[in-house]
Chains A and B, each alone.
Chain A
Amino acid sequence: MITLTHYLVLSAALFCIGLFIILSKRNAIQILIGIELMLNAAILNLVAFGRFDKMNNGGQTFALFAIVLAAASTAVALAIVLNVYRRYRTIDPGKIDQLKDR
């Protein structure tokens, strides 16, 4: 029988891989992938705990909500990355140093 701790440790490992990607990469799209990995780790926690909630389905419902919101936020983030690339000709977050129009 797979206990809940297995799922939590797996989710912690995925979360820390995502954290490493966010901290070390110099490409906005790879940073977005890291954010998606961290969100997936959180969704795995929701699903693992949702196995013990058959009547109300809290975990699975909010996992569905989190998946949909992650897709929406990906769309918005890609639009922002596109605009940043048009303006700065680079998508390295270290080289983007101002928010207002030049």
Chain B
Amino acid sequence: MNLITVMFYLMAVIAICSGLYVAASKNLVRSVFMFFITLFALAGIYVLCLADFVAVTQVVVYVGGILVLILFAFMLSGRESLAGVEGQENKLINLSKVPALLLSALFLIVLVNIYFKADVDGLPWIANAVRTGDTFAPTTVVINNLGVTLMTRYLLPFEAVSVLLLMALVGAAHLSRKEEGATS
């Protein structure tokens, strides 16, 4: 049991426990802050997958996005909109959550069952990649190859994503200032 395994299980336990806390908490602000911890634990797991650049992007982009989310949560969830929710959730055994719990637990059982039956580690292309040395080693420099492939092989998805990002931001700005001019 070396250090990497210990780190993986630590990160996995942190991610799952904070995710469960997000699901169980009645306090909106507290659940948002616990979601931060889930994202950071997932970034650590990406580092263990030897994907440093993805981990850094996760921290930068998601922390920016989630900060906006916290601001909106503070502004939108006033006292009156949260009052009905808290009165509904105060009971210990909440009957309205049983179908959701049942559905997600069954889905988890089905997914895990499929993963154990599919024998993912013995897939042909993975065995081929291991044989030909196509896997990442801890000493591999990731970012050079990532930049080169992003500009050559994945140029069309890159451009499509940039256009779609522009569209989404313009659309968000338009949606959020539409009612300012007292139209309607």
Which chain A residues have a beta carbon within 8 Å of chain B's beta carbons?
1-10, 12-21, 23-24, 26-27, 29-30, 32-33, 36-37, 40, 43-44, 47-48, 50-57, 59-65, 67-76, 78-83, 85-86, 89-92, 101
Contacts and interface: CB of A to CB of B under 8 A. Distances in A.
Contact of B115 (A9, A61, A85, A90): A9
A65 B5 CA distance: 28
Contacts of B157: 61-62, 65
Given A40-B42, A51-B49, A72-B165, A57 B175 contact: no
A79 B172 contact: yes
A69 B169 CA distance: 11
Contacts of B97: 24
Nearest to A72: B168
Contacts of A90: 81
Given A2-B5, A68-B61, A71-B64, 4 more contacts: A24-B96, A36-B66, A44-B42, A59-B51
Contacts of B57: 64, 67
B100 A20 contact: yes
Interface in B148-184: 149-150, 153-154, 157-158, 161, 164-165, 168-169, 171-173, 175-176, 178-179, 184
Interface of B: 4-5, 8, 12, 15-16, 19-20, 22-23, 28, 31-32, 35, 38-39, 42, 45-46, 48-51, 53-54, 57-58, 61-62, 64-66, 68-69, 72-73, 76-77, 80-82, 84-85, 88, 96-97, 99-101, 103-105, 107-108, 111-112, 115-116, 120-121, 125-126, 129-130, 134-136, 140, 142, 145-146, 149-150, 153-154, 157-158, 161, 164-165, 168-169, 171-173, 175-176, 178-179, 184
A37 B35 contact: yes
Contacts of A16: 104-105, 107-108, 111
Contact of A33 (B35, B96, B161, B184): B35
A23 to B, nearest CB: 4
Contacts of A61: 146, 149-150, 154, 157
Contact of B107 (A1, A19, A86): A19
A57 B144 CA distance: 11
Contact of A29 (B64, B77, B112, B175): B77
Contacts of A92: 81, 84-85
